[in-house]
Chain A
């Protein structure tokens, strides 16, 4: 039993897919899809007449185009949809140039702003997107158009990848790290380096010093939150504020960022009833762009 437990991959987050109940794509006029191939996760969203129909979130493999195909296949599963039914597909994310079925590629920055606008409405002005290998702070207008943005294009410190490394080292399932990090009675000093490569060395050092797992986790997540907050402050944090990307589910990051900035994010909608998933904001935005592009090209 013990050896089985040791083999557990604590970083391994759950993949998921679903179809909105009570909707029929055969009655739709425009069927589009957004496929967001991120560095760690691949997301696909199918939209019918500009409304969410189905979605999938899975781990990106070593080949971007395979991951794109898998994600869209999974979103189409049990729906009877096939590729030829789509009017327009937009690819986005780190691997956006490798989405073979896409009619066009659009940057994830534009897609995340558009997606956030769709999920939370026109009051959104600041979007923090925390993905597998990057963190972006995006300012947008009431139509979801990007006004300005900043991203960590030189260093992966403080991203989802680092969180995975720490979860694995401390043997805490990735879904629980946020909650566990908040169980400390007093907030520890942040680690000095959030470098993904050094994360392990520093955490091992702290454990050796006698720090509890919870304290080490809190220390690392606090350092991540400080890095993110600095990025947001540089671009300027205007209300309403939202968080997208996989790490939007990490309550340890969310609460710390909120405390540092003194701003609460807008609440996350119920995925099952609305189909609105902050982790898929980029794919949602891409599917919306796909619809707009299809309509524009049709009227030409």
Chain B
């Protein structure tokens, strides 16, 4: 049986096609100004990659901040629910899933079946989400992809007021004028972000094993900083950005089965 999950993120739309509990195809695009159209297009691309048509898909479940824009979906699931499902699917031993996206971050506690038990979210402050790294990369005039590797070269971190992206921007500008090494500024940025995410996870309670998903999980600088702060190992799936879509796709499969 074939199902699909679509994750309507603030920055990207992600689709995963699931066949018999295996991910057989994925696609992603920037959400842009017309997310509804982008959703349709991304689904089509994923179907094409899987050599399937819309009629082959038994059930589509949508999730993410712009969930209402995926009008073709058969059902919805919360972002926390999708994270829990995906976390347990990638790593059966996982009990805490941390999801850091472009504009929000979450920590979700789940059981061995991927059922969400508890969660905390940060959606009101950009300092704990991927946007923070983007804004700082711009201020440092460094490519976004370079930020992580650059930060790993530093042995110490600069001091910045990193409670807020706007304050941090001002600090970065003055640090550049003082000719502090960019690597040390980059490390300070990741440390600050990891600090915010860590305090969020601690509010939930750190239950091992931990998994990190979401677009920011790809960033080696953030991962290194988060490991330092949490003091534990963190499991990261191969394609962390698709976690929400995969979780939603697995939920879709169950719902399709129930309706049969």
Residues of A within 8 A of B (CB): 39, 62-64, 94-95, 98, 133, 153-156, 159, 161, 192-193, 195-198, 201, 204
Name B35's closest neighbour in chain A (CB-CB).
Answer: A208
- Residue from the list B124, B131, B135, B174 in contact with A192, Cβ < 8 A: B124
Pairs A-B, 6 closest by C-beta atoms? A197-B126, A156-B166, A154-B163, A193-B124, A155-B164, A197-B165
Q: Is the CB of A204 within 8 A of B33?
A: yes
**Could you give, for residues 154-176 of chain B, a 1 whenever the CB lies within 8 Å of some chain A CB and a 0 otherwise?**
00000001011111001001100
Chain B: which residue is nearest A199 at the CB level? B126
Nearest-Cβ distance from residue B40 to partner chain A, whole angstroms: 16
**Cβ-based interface call for B10 (8 A):** yes
- Overall SS of chain B's interface: helix
A201 to B173, CA, bound (A): 25
Q: A62-B173, A94-B170 are in contact. Are A198 and B103 (CB under 8 A)?
A: yes
- Interface assignment of B25: CB less than 8 Å from any CB of chain A: no
Min CB gap B88→A, angstroms: 30
Min distance, Cβ A159 to any Cβ of chain B, angstroms: 8
Contact across chains for A197 and B135 when beta carbons are under 8 A apart: yes
A133 touches B103 (CB 8 A): no
11 chain-A/chain-B pairs, Cβ below 8 angstroms? A64-B174, A156-B164, A156-B166, A193-B123, A193-B124, A195-B124, A195-B125, A196-B166, A197-B131, A198-B124, A198-B126
Q: How far is the CB of A238 from chain B (nearest CB, A)?
A: 29
List B101-115 residues whose CB lies under 8 Å from chain A.
103
Q: Which has the most chain A C-beta neighbours within 10 Å: B131, B132, B166, B173?
A: B166
Which residue on chain A has the smallest CB distance to residue B131? Answer: A197
User: How far does the Cβ of A163 sit from chain B's closest Cβ, in whole Å?
Assistant: 12
CB distance from A218 to the nearest CB of B (A): 20
Which A residues are in CB contact (< 8 Å) with B103?
198, 201
Distance from B127 Cβ to chain A, minimum over Cβ atoms (Å): 8
Task: For the complex, give the distance between the alpha carbons of A197 and B164 in Å.
Answer: 9
A159 to B126, CA, bound (A): 15
In the complex formed, the residue of B with least CB distance to A198 is B126
The complex places the Cα of A153 from the Cα of B166 at a distance, in Å, of 11
Q: Are A161 and B164 in contact (CB under 8 A)?
A: no
Asked whether B257 is an interface residue with its Cβ less than 8 Å from the other chain, the reply is no
Known: A155-B125, A192-B124. A161 touches B166 (CB 8 A): yes
Asked if residues A133 and B33 are in contact (CB atoms below 8 Å), the reply is no
Q: How far is the CA of A198 from the CA of B173 in the complex (A)?
A: 21
- Write the nearest CB–CB distance from A69 to chain B, whole angstroms: 14
How far apart are the CA atoms of A196 and B173 in the complex, in Å? 18
> Which A residues touch B170, using CB under 8 A?
39, 94, 133
Contacts of B173 in A (CB 8 A): 62
Task: Return the chain B residue nearest A156 by Cβ.
Answer: B166
B181 to chain A, nearest CB (A): 18
For B, the interface residue count at a CB cutoff of 8 angstroms equals 20
- For A133, list chain B residues within 8 Å (CB): 166-167, 170
Q: Is the CB of A196 within 8 A of B165?
A: yes
| Smallest CB gap from A40: residue in B | B170
B161 contacts which chain A residues (CB < 8 A)? 153
Q: Given the complex of chains A and B, what is the CA–CA distance between A39 and B10 in angstroms?
A: 29
Residues of A within 8 Å of B163, CB to CB, are: 153-155
CB closest chain-B residue, reference A159:
B166
Q: Is the CB of B259 closer than 8 A to any CB of chain A?
A: no
- B170 to chain A minimum Cβ distance, whole angstroms, is 6
Asked whether any CB of chain A lies closer than 8 Å to the CB of B177, the reply is yes
Shortest Cβ gap from A213 to chain B (Å) = 16
CA distance A193 to B127 in the complex (A): 13
With a cutoff of 8 Å between Cβ atoms, the chain B residues found around residue A161 in the complex are 166
Please give, as numbers and ranges, the residues of chain A lying within 8 Å of B174 by CB-CB distance. Answer: 64, 95, 98
**Contact (Cβ within 8 A) A197 B166:** yes
The smallest C-beta distance from A207 to any residue of chain B, in angstroms, reads 10
Within the complex, the shortest CB–CB distance from B128 to chain A, in Å, comes to 11
Whose C-beta in chain A lies nearest to the C-beta of B170?
Answer: A39
Question: In the complex, are the beta carbons of B167 and A156 less than 8 A apart?
Answer: yes
Cα(A149)–Cα(B161), bound, Å: 20
From residue A93, how far is it (CB to closest CB) to chain B in Å? Answer: 12
CA distance A98 to B132 in the complex (A): 26
User: Which residues from A are CB-within-8-Å of B177?
Assistant: 62-63
Find the residue from B10, B135, B165 having the highest chain A CB count within 10 A: B165
Q: How far is the CA of A195 from the CA of B126 in the complex (A)?
A: 7
List chain A residues, Cβ under 8 A from B167: 133, 156
Q: List the B side residues contacting A159 at CB < 8 Å.
A: 166
Pick the most buried of B10, B103, B161, B170: most chain A CB atoms within 10 A of its CB. B170
| A154–B170 alpha-carbon span in the complex (Å) | 13
Chain A min CB distance to B68 (Å): 10
CB contacts (< 8 Å) of B33 on chain A: these are 204
Residues in B147-205 with C-beta less than 8 Å from chain A: 161, 163-167, 170, 173-174, 177
Nearest B-chain residue to A162, judged by Cβ: B166
Q: How far is the CA of A75 from the CA of B5 in the complex (A)?
A: 62
Give A159 to B131 CA distance when docked, in angstroms.
Answer: 19
